[in-house]
Structure 1
């Protein structure tokens, strides 16, 4: 009897739970259905503002290469050579390239067509024209640019302004009343938030892909001179460049720019320029025709734990000044190589890319303050920001570096200076680097100039050897110059 009642009880409970399980399944399906409708709503709202950009230029026909690739030779790439190299890299070194200095091949002229994406921008003063934003690498160097909207309308476009340092360009068309995408608030964008990329991958017009914000503030990737990327796993492929990355409210939060890939296609990591940076640069290009950036005149590098110890610092927070340009605002203010910048305008600094962006955003003529550490003492320095000269590029430092280190150095005599095409004077020059040495692993190269060992100048091979031999703890701190760029390097051996 007890067994009969127990079985009845179990059956009754199961009967009661079954509707709840079915309801949960229905709720799950409905939730997915609503998510899909949200993406569809974004597509309806944003797609009319997104354009397919087609570019064309005249290029000399290259000689036929013996190395075949799936797209044919370098003159037949469906998205243009710039697109190919940006997404695939120089994986085919013997393949003919467009506009490669010193390697033009004789032959007849032929048209080369490329594609990308863009979106209508609500400029500060649009006037009677419509301004469209895209990447500089999409339109740079082309003879003809055209844009095509979702409804089939096509327009010829001209370049209003470009900024290669950030890879942002503004093109314009003679039309008005075209819908602009609302500008979102990048500061409110959160990691994990849904985002939608819309563009023309591989020429497939107005393709929508969905993902999340994987990270913010990605700098020092080596894609552009000035970087502050949104990382996303929304699929981005060749042809997406210049298209919008939007939130679920249909507001643009970034411009799709590049991908990380070993194959050339989507591998789950894409990068977009934040819309706050895009908007600031676009307005300058429209209103002034150029981008004005602040300039200090210093080369900087991360303050690693090894470098912090070498400078007898109790912290590895901050960034290290590796070089100060002559007659620059930094030199006039008294900044010196070896100074450690702790904060800028009262805000802590630890990332070199972020610091470069913050300086660039300052208006020329404005006064800024730094807290620095020099010789173990903290002090405040005030600097008057100048305008970044046109010929100044944000340099990327490279490390360089007795027998213990695996290098041979020479004093810089007049003959040596002529041999290596450098100026005679201070430092010693690296003439050989042993394979597999700590110097080689540190990236040291023949022709590098070593200026200091453990904060003391070395102007002969003998001085260099003595300084290395007297180093404690089998470790040296070097100040190295390569192509007029200096940085500190810590090398150690056992």
Structure 2
């Protein structure tokens, strides 16, 4: 036996002796805790992790379990656009960024039918599938192909451009689906898998990475009213064109995000990808299934991140939370007593460290829900309950109506109650105002167009029909939600 072996033997014996001594002390001295509360919590967490051996193998982490469990629930999506498709006249707010960030757009500039492709995740046995809005937006036909090569035509149930999510459905039962996980429990450094269909040909592709960051805002979603929700999970799992709408899962095979974008100067994977967290996905999907429309809840504040510069300028006693620059009148925040200068620290007792985190935590709720807001004012903590409101300033449920999309904006026929309240016969109401001619003309969200060039508009479909033949200067007449009649002239 050499000196090294002798030394290691003594060291091992000493360690074993120490462990036995501690064990005996704990056995005979049951009245005294052997570890601190913090250590106990960590030991419980470690015990739970080690007891779940479904994804651990002798040689290390096992990606096979999650991949085999999830792959059957991830689908290939082919969207078809008649005529010039997306190539002309589209005002999709993601359009200019599409090639850099998103799925394969085959023949985008060609005349005649064009196609794009992406991925989707089956979330129920009866055929509901979640994907990205940009994968299917304005498509005339949406086809999906399962992992076992079965093909179906899908119906679009609803979309939410502010989160870039969409819900589609196929008429089938007993489909394999992916279980929801909990994105709140995801830790930075944790392993994840991205499963999708990159480049439109590489079906059921699995890549691995770690969670690099959470609550990332990369400013790719655009909304005229600033209501886009960007609180992405950032990973270094390889995601490429066509992966959009695919699954980001943990090693238990649970869905933790929907892959949405990549950071790249070339259009191909260059190191980081981004996914909508499942905490938000679940809420949006439930809304679309139950109501056909997303129930967007607003706190009614304009906000910015707190950094060292802002803290110094505003005399804040901490560099934390989200700074309230303004509070809308009659908003949830205003009615709860909040004021400009407050610093929001928690929503429902969950810490808020950025604008993205705050937006996500609020967006998980529906109008009428009460959230507990913890904020600091002049160094003093205050906790209040704020009743969230919808985009129209009340707590009513917004139900799906027949939608017409034109020039980046979405119109519906106003409800009978709205028509009666405003004393008008009919019209086409703007429910989502995007970049395009309608916003350039000065119209606002909620405005109801009642005539074009003195021709009555009774519903959204009629507006679409009338505008097909319009060019040059037009006269737009309508009313806002307070009954004020207005005219707008615009060169179409």
SS of the aligned residue for 2:82 comes to strand
Alignment correspondent of 2:170: 173
Asked whether 1:279 is paired with 2:282, we answer yes
Pairs within 5 Å for 1:29-44? 38-44=62-68
Alignment correspondent of 2:119: 117
Query: Offset at 1:261?
Result: 0.5
- In the superposition, relative to structure 1, how do residues 39 and 378 fare at CA in structure 2: closer, same or farther (>3 Å)? closer
Pairs within 5 Å for 1:328-347? 328-347=331-350
- In the superposition, relative to structure 1, how do residues 166 and 314 fare at CA in structure 2: closer, same or farther (>3 Å)? same
- In the superposition, relative to structure 1, how do residues 350 and 33 fare at CA in structure 2: closer, same or farther (>3 Å)? closer
Alignment correspondent of 2:9: none
Q: Is the 8 A contact 1:260 1:267 kept in 2?
A: yes
Query: Offset at 1:286?
Result: 1.1
Asked whether 1:223 is paired with 2:220, we answer yes
Q: Is the 8 A contact 2:283 2:364 kept in 1?
A: no
Alignment correspondent of 1:85: 97
Query: Offset at 1:198?
Result: 1.7
Query: Offset at 1:200?
Result: 1.1
SS of the aligned residue for 1:336 comes to coil
CA distance in 2, matches of 1:162, 1:374: 38
Alignment correspondent of 1:320: 323
Pairs within 5 Å for 1:343-362? 343-362=346-365
Asked whether 1:250 is paired with 2:253, we answer yes
Query: Which residue, 150, 154, 158 being the options, matches 2:151?
Result: 154
CA distance in 2, matches of 1:174, 1:260: 36
CA distance in 2, matches of 1:305, 1:54: 47
CA distance in 1, matches of 2:386, 2:216: 25
CA distance in 1, matches of 2:346, 2:182: 26
CA distance in 2, matches of 1:336, 1:170: 38
Alignment correspondent of 1:480: none
Q: Which runs of 5+ in 2 are unaligned?
A: 3-55, 222-227, 393-397, 399-429, 435-441, 443-492
Query: Which residue, 132, 136, 139 being the options, matches 2:136?
Result: 139
Pairs within 5 Å for 1:404-443? none
Query: Which residue, 263, 268, 271 being the options, matches 2:266?
Result: 263
Asked whether 1:208 is paired with 2:220, we answer no
Alignment correspondent of 1:56: 80
> In terms of mean alpha carbon deviation, does 373-382 or 242-251 score higher?
373-382
CA distance in 2, matches of 1:394, 1:381: 32
CA distance in 2, matches of 1:89, 1:181: 25
| TM-score, normalising length: structure 1 | 0.60
Q: Is the 8 A contact 1:81 1:97 kept in 2?
A: no
Alignment correspondent of 2:299: 296
CA distance in 2, matches of 1:59, 1:119: 29
CA distance in 2, matches of 1:196, 1:382: 38
- In the superposition, relative to structure 1, how do residues 113 and 84 fare at CA in structure 2: closer, same or farther (>3 Å)? farther
CA distance in 2, matches of 1:35, 1:208: 22
Q: Is the 8 A contact 1:52 1:205 kept in 2?
A: no
Q: Is the 8 A contact 1:191 1:212 kept in 2?
A: no
Alignment correspondent of 2:439: none
Asked whether 1:383 is paired with 2:386, we answer yes
CA distance in 1, matches of 2:371, 2:179: 33
- In the superposition, relative to structure 1, how do residues 189 and 151 fare at CA in structure 2: closer, same or farther (>3 Å)? same
Alignment: residue pair count: 336
CA distance in 2, matches of 1:155, 1:57: 17
Q: Is the 8 A contact 2:193 2:207 kept in 1?
A: yes
Larger radius of gyration: 1
Alignment correspondent of 1:428: none
> Once the two structures are superposed, what CA deviation does each residue of 1:33-52 show, in whole Å capped at 9, x if it has no partner?
9669x444444332222211
Query: Offset at 1:347?
Result: 4.4
> Once the two structures are superposed, what CA deviation does each residue of 1:120-154 show, in whole Å capped at 9, x if it has no partner?
112xxx6xx41111111101111010011122211
CA distance in 1, matches of 2:344, 2:432: 21
CA distance in 1, matches of 2:60, 2:180: 22
State the superposition RMSD in angstroms.
Answer: 3.8
Query: Offset at 1:330?
Result: 2.6
- In the superposition, relative to structure 1, how do residues 32 and 56 fare at CA in structure 2: closer, same or farther (>3 Å)? same
- In the superposition, relative to structure 1, how do residues 320 and 188 fare at CA in structure 2: closer, same or farther (>3 Å)? closer
SS of the aligned residue for 1:179 comes to coil
Query: Offset at 1:383?
Result: 2.9
SS of the aligned residue for 1:295 comes to coil
- In the superposition, relative to structure 1, how do residues 392 and 371 fare at CA in structure 2: closer, same or farther (>3 Å)? farther
Query: Which residue, 187, 190, 194 being the options, matches 2:187?
Result: 190
Pairs within 5 Å for 1:464-475? none
SS of the aligned residue for 2:335 comes to helix
